[in-house]
Amino acid sequence: MRTRILTILAYTGAALTLVVAVCVPFVLMGAFSNAVAHAGLHIDAAYSGGTVARTIDRGRYTIVVYQPVEPRLLERIEPFVQIVFEPAESLPAHVSDEIDLDGDGRPDVRVSFNVPADANAPLRGDVTALNATYISLTNVAGESFSRMVVRAGKQIVVRIPLHEGPARR
Amino acid sequence: MASRSSALARPPAFRGVGRSILLTLPMALWSLLMFTPSFQHASGDHYIGAAAVILFMTGLFFLMMRTGETYRWRRIFFVALGFLFPVGFIAALVAERGTMSIPISRMVSGDTPFCFMVTPSIILPAAFARTVIFPGSILPTASNPHSIAIMIGLWFALTLVMGKAWCSYACFFGGIEEGFAALPKRRRLHRFITRFGAQLRLIPWAILVFVVLVSAAIFEPVYCMWLCPFKAVTEFPAVRNVETAIQMVVFIALFVGLVVVLPYLTKKRTQCGFFCPFGAFQSLFNKINLFEIRINREKCVDCGLCQTSCPTVALSKDSIREGKTLLNCMKCGACVDACKKDAAVWHLKGTPVAAKPERARLLFLYGTWALATMFGGSVLANGVHTLIGFLPLK
Amino acid sequence: MLGLATGPVCLATCGPVVVPWMLVQPQGLRGHSRQLFLFLAARLAGYLVFACAVWLVGSAIPHALPQAWTGRSWLMGAVQVLLAGALVVYAAGWSHRRCVVAKTTGNLVQIGEAPVVKRSGALALGFLTGINLCPPFLVAGVRAAQLAHLSAALWFFFCFFAGTAVWFFPFLSLGFLKRTPAIVTVARMVAVLLACWYGFSGISILIERTFHG
């Protein structure tokens, strides 16, 4: 009797597996993808740059300032702050901006770079720290996740490292 | 000891043509349904690619029905998948960015396509910090359709049906080494693998635990950044310092060693069986999958052919004695086809062993092959379309 | 409070070392409790040694602290290399004199006989993870260096240790996990992989410091 019940259950399960297989391309794949999309996940700030703190309007273009990103647990990145210049097409041939990153009304860094007409041309820039919190960068491109001046689509992404340890604390 | 080719030789007509065609008909209709959208493409190349895949997948299924063999025909599909995936993928990368390497700018803009192999690495940070440690995007974008949500949804849906059979019917990486293992050459290192097989098959579990723990600690996809052999034939972080240069060397060494040289020498899938942490992770789904391979002890003569034929050492003398395969069995069918006494059989959990092995095989193959056609077929079609593009026809 | 708040970081630092080590130990809550106690005791010893060191540096030459801070990489590199060595020696079964690699009769093979419980293993790993300079540890170090008395610095680190130690108790649940030879073998392999990781990381830090100061 037990064997018979188990056999019936087994074939029912196998039939259900077939139904599931048929449903995969039409329903299930999308349903599972939606579930992941709505799980409240976000990309690690080392890649995404973190959350936006505020935007600075410069007329032709906008500067988006992000919250400083600290390494999580034992993450092997320097703490940094990301700023984004957008849209890249509206930027002048040479950008040199003094930017207030912490919102205290005083500029914290000077960022300067040339914007090549060709979107695929290499981009390099300089960052001059105007106070001890930030680290200056010279002729930087995409050296690391904490030090970069790169073109990403329609944006110029700049990441400025922050001092670690007692100097900042 | 008989070679695998002779072991695989069976009477060609396991089933009559008419019955085989009847059994293949549902799969033919399914293939048409899956590739109908491709026929709406304006490009003739897409039309040829889709038509070729429909014929290919349906033809192989027919041969499975006709001959009663699984492994040989599955292997043809799987090797094609393994070699056509890089063709389509690399061609698309080169056309888009001119190189296989991922510049850091694309990582920060979330344009890295998500690979299912990263899944175990991201579980702990996602569960405890709701953070995905991968430079992709959660939702699909115009520049990155292979988003994390889409790829995980696809993987999970397929895994529900296939379980560990993912590794022999869907993983395009496994096809590459199966191809090298299939090249004619006398089997080498057989004694070594027999002697240390038990330890070797535990290595993927160790790498899985290591990758999960360290990825959670340093918030980096450790497997992806340091250990993935397939970076050598897909995409890899652009070399920008000593560390990324070392990573590149590791990728190439692992690919050459585990995917090319060792499979060629041993006739085993050495990367899948002795290295891949995703394969170990996928083995866990064997517990919830209804289909398995069993050894009928009443027929078994302990000749060891099944053990020798298994590409991932998923059978041991003890397990054969118990009439079971090990947890890492990926249901490729090699042992069933190799067994001359019909002792290795397809089995549906809950039913008596060897009661209706062919029915279990059919039920398994319908679900699995249908999804292999949907997922692998689209990869094949893309590869064929890319290859046609290379031909000087126009 | 600092210890409690930064516990997850300590867990991330020590977890990869503790998990394989505990899995190598025989099943049972009692044995695991003893091993965890030894590990934590050695870790406390590491903390107190560090507390003394930073307090002495901080009180004797206050201006030297920022420079000493930048030089921490040397210590970090060296500790990681030592940790790699300790992992290989103790967790991966350095002593194979009584090794009985079972013949491949089983689907699961045990490397070495029933694991030998070694106190020195837990002590060495605990001490080395104790002086491994993880971020919260460094924050605690700065505060300890600024305190007026050595006893206050030691007390501060003791409290910090107590706060972080709470996070380690879930590891005791590993004691209930069924021990099969396969799990023990996998745990040892993980330890070897971690040793490679720490070794590589430590040597990289040392090389970088040598060439870039």
Listed by start position, the domains of chain A span 1-41, 45-167
Q: Does C203 touch chain B (CB under 8 A)?
A: no
User: Which chain B residues have any C-beta within 8 angstroms of a chain C C-beta?
Assistant: 128, 194-199, 202-203, 205-207, 209-210, 213-214, 216-218, 243, 316-319, 326
Q: Is the pLDDT of residue A70 over 60?
A: yes
User: Are B198 and C12 in contact (CB < 8 Å)?
Assistant: no
Here the tokens at position B236 are 């890899």
Q: Could you tell me the residue range of the domain that residue C197 belongs to?
A: 2-212
Here the tokens at position B321 are 């004695």
**Closest chain A residue to C136, measured at CA:** A73
**Among candidates B194, B214, B326 on the partner chain, residue whose Cβ is nearest the Cβ of C16:** B214
pLDDT at C145: 65
pLDDT at B241: 85
Q: Is the pLDDT of residue C129 over 90?
A: no
Here the tokens at position B34 are 């899956």
* pLDDT classification of B12: cutoffs 50, 70, 90: low
Average per-residue pLDDT for chain C: 72
User: Are C193 and B206 in contact (CB < 8 Å)?
Assistant: yes
Amino acid at C145: A
Q: How close, in Å, is residue C8 to chain A by CA atoms?
A: 7
**Closest chain A residue to C133, measured at CA:** A74
**Closest chain C residue to B327, measured at CA:** C107
Strand locations in B125-185 (E): 131-132
Which residue of A7, A33, A73, A83 is the best one to mutate when testing the B interface, meaning the one whose CB has the most B CBs within 10 A? A33
Q: Are C32 and C23 in contact (CB under 8 A)?
A: no
List CB contacts (< 8 A) between C137 and chain A. none
Q: What are phi and psi of A128, to 5 degrees?
A: -110, 120
Q: Cα separation of C186 and B283, whole Å?
A: 15
Q: Cα separation of B382 and B50, whole Å?
A: 8
Q: Is the pLDDT of residue B8 over 60?
A: no
Q: Are A120 and B106 in contact (CB under 8 A)?
A: no
Beta-sheet pairing, A142-144 with A155-161:
unpaired
Sign (positive/negative) of CA torsion C175, C178, C181, C182? negative
Q: Is the pLDDT of residue C148 over 90?
A: no
The model's pLDDT over A35-66, given as tens digits with 9 standing for 90+, comes to: 999 999 999 999 999 999 999 999 999 999 99
A-to-C residue pairs, Cβ atoms closer than 8 angstroms: 22
Q: How close, in Å, is residue B53 to chain C by CA atoms?
A: 40
User: Are B326 and C16 in contact (CB < 8 Å)?
Assistant: no
Cis bond before residue B352 (omega within 30° of 0): no
Q: Does A38 touch chain C (CB under 8 A)?
A: no
* pLDDT classification of B3: cutoffs 50, 70, 90: very low
Q: Does A132 touch chain C (CB under 8 A)?
A: no
**Among candidates A73, A167, A169 on the partner chain, residue whose Cβ is nearest the Cβ of C9:** A73
Q: Cα separation of B97 and B183, whole Å?
A: 34
Q: Is the pLDDT of residue C111 over 50?
A: no
Q: How close, in Å, is residue A47 to chain B by CA atoms?
A: 5
* pLDDT classification of C103: cutoffs 50, 70, 90: very low
Query: Which of the pair, C22 or C191, is modelled with greater confidence?
Result: C191
The model's pLDDT over A5-33, given as tens digits with 9 standing for 90+, comes to: 999 999 999 999 999 999 999 999 999 99
Q: Are C193 and B206 in contact (CB under 8 A)?
A: yes
Burial class (CB in 10 A: 0-12, 13-18, 19+), A165: middle
Q: How close, in Å, is residue C109 to chain A by CA atoms?
A: 33
Number of domains making up chain C: 1
* pLDDT classification of C106: cutoffs 50, 70, 90: very low
Sign (positive/negative) of CA torsion B310, B311, B316, B322? negative
Three-state DSSP at B5 gives helix
Q: For residue A69, give the DSSP letter.
A: B
User: Are C104 and B205 in contact (CB < 8 Å)?
Assistant: no
Here the tokens at position B352 are 């008596």
Q: Cα separation of B387 and B380, whole Å?
A: 10
Of B61-65, C46-50, C119-123, which gets the smallest average pLDDT?
A: C119-123
HSE (side-chain half, CA atoms, 13 Å) at B314: 32
* pLDDT classification of A166: cutoffs 50, 70, 90: very low
Three-state DSSP at A8 gives helix
Amino acid at B26: P
Of A81-95, B315-329, C136-150, C189-203, which gets the smallest average pLDDT?
A: C136-150
List CB contacts (< 8 A) between B213 and chain C. 15-16, 19, 190, 194
* pLDDT classification of C68: cutoffs 50, 70, 90: low
Of A115-119, B367-371, C44-48, which gets the smallest average pLDDT?
A: C44-48
**Among candidates A14, A150, A159 on the partner chain, residue whose Cβ is nearest the Cβ of B290:** A14
- Find tokens 């063709």 and name the residue: B87
- How many C-beta neighbours within 10 Å does residue A8 have? 12
Q: Is the pLDDT of residue B242 over 80?
A: yes
Q: Is the pLDDT of residue B365 over 70?
A: yes
Mean pLDDT, range B216-236, rounded to an integer: 92
Q: Does A28 touch chain B (CB under 8 A)?
A: yes
User: Are A72 and B219 in contact (CB < 8 Å)?
Assistant: yes
Q: Chain centroid to CA C188: how far?
A: 16
- Find tokens 């920060």 and name the residue: B108
Helix (H) or strand (E) holding B293: strand B291-295
pLDDT at B227: 95
Q: Cα separation of C144 and A53, whole Å?
A: 33
Q: Are B337 and B2 in contact (CB under 8 A)?
A: no
Here the tokens at position B25 are 């008909």
Helix (H) or strand (E) holding B337: helix B334-338
Query: Chains contacting B with at least 3 CB pairs below 8 Å?
Result: A, C
- How many C-beta neighbours within 10 Å does residue A20 have? 16
Q: Is the pLDDT of residue B315 over 80?
A: yes
- How many C-beta neighbours within 10 Å does residue C32 have? 21
pLDDT at B54: 95
pLDDT at C94: 45
Q: How close, in Å, is residue C19 to chain B by CA atoms?
A: 9
**Closest chain C residue to B219, measured at CA:** C12
Q: Chain centroid to CA C88: how far?
A: 13
> Which domains, and CATH codes, for chain B?
11-99+357-394 (no CATH), 107-288 (no CATH), 290-355 (3.30.70.20)
User: Are C12 and A73 in contact (CB < 8 Å)?
Assistant: yes
pLDDT at C71: 60
Nearest to B388 by CA among B16, B46, B63: B46
User: Are C142 and A167 in contact (CB < 8 Å)?
Assistant: no
List CB contacts (< 8 A) between C185 and chain B. 199, 202
* DSSP letters for C80-92: HHHHHHHIIIIIT
Which residue of A8, A9, A29 is the best one to mutate when testing the B interface, meaning the one whose CB has the most B CBs within 10 A? A29
Number of H-type helices and E-type strands within chain C: 9, 0
Query: Chains contacting A with at least 3 CB pairs below 8 Å?
Result: B, C
The model's pLDDT over B246-301, given as tens digits with 9 standing for 90+, comes to: 999 999 999 999 999 999 999 999 999 999 999 999 999 999 999 999 999 999 99
Nearest to C125 by CA among C168, C162, C154: C168
**Among candidates A73, A74, A166 on the partner chain, residue whose Cβ is nearest the Cβ of C142:** A166
Q: Does A167 touch chain C (CB under 8 A)?
A: yes
pLDDT at C207: 87
List CB contacts (< 8 A) between A165 and chain C. 66, 69-70, 138, 142
